[in-house]
Amino acid sequence: MAEEERFAQIVAIAAHDLKTPLATVYGFARTLTRTELEEPTARYVGMIEAASVELRELIEELALVARIESGRYDPVLADADTLDLAREVAAELPERVEVSGEGASVKIDPEATGRALSRLAKAASRHGGIDSVSLLVRGRELEISPLQRSAAAVVTGEELRELGAVAAVEHLLALGVTLTAEDERLLIRFAG
């Protein structure tokens, strides 16, 4: 077994093994949020619950990257409309997001692709120091803007500083999607 394949397998095992204790933490935090707690305890338990959800998502992204890197990624493809996908992404983001344009039908893994697009929009916002982004849809192309020059390398996965962005890029590339950062925008082109 090649060293890279072995490492990808170790990462996959670690991601899998982390899910059980994390589910326990999340489950108890969720149970506690349904009881009457005094402040600041209620706020702290809410923070634990939110962090557990975010950690679970990061573990899923890590496992996805491991599957892609080891050649074991087998996406479940379905038809999706790019405008509907952009609207779903916008609804999930804490940032202000404006969605416009005209969609087209693409064959993707809708859930994983939605997570990937959300991660890229979040990374553009976080690393660019901006509090709102726009998603412009032109058929099979989706544009995320603004993309600050300082954030471009992180968002495109060239600079390895954020797991969510790296996993998003790896996932999209595995689906044949191209990503280009130009003129303060990220262009995402879905395969035909």
| Domain range summary for the chain, segments of one domain joined by + | 3-69, 78-189
133-171 burial, b at 16+ Cβ within 10 Å, e below that, comes to bbbbbbebbbbbbbbbeebbebbbbeeeebebbbbbbbb
Q: How large a percentage of the chain has pLDDT more than 90? A: 43
Average pLDDT for 39-57: 91
Q: Is 93 exposed, middle or buried (0-12, 13-18, 19+ CB in 10 A)?
A: middle
9 by DSSP, 3-state: which? helix
Q: Residue 101: what pLDDT? A: 94
For residues 5 and 14, which has the higher predicted lDDT (pLDDT)?
A: 14
Asked if residues 94 and 50 have their Cβ atoms less than 8 Å apart, the reply is: no
Which CATH number applies to 78-189: 3.40.50.720, 3.30.565.10, 3.30.460.10, 1.10.3720.10? 3.30.565.10
Length of the chain, in residues: 192
What value does the mean pLDDT take over residues 40-59?
90
Beta strand 132-139 with 96-103 is parallel
Residue 1 banded pLDDT, cuts 50, 70, 90 = low
pTM value is 0.81
Model pLDDT, residue 14: 82
Q: In the predicted model, what is the mean pLDDT of residues 70-87? A: 91
Give the tens place of pLDDT for each residue, 165-188: 999 999 999 999 999 999 899 999
Give mean pLDDT, residues 90-104.
86
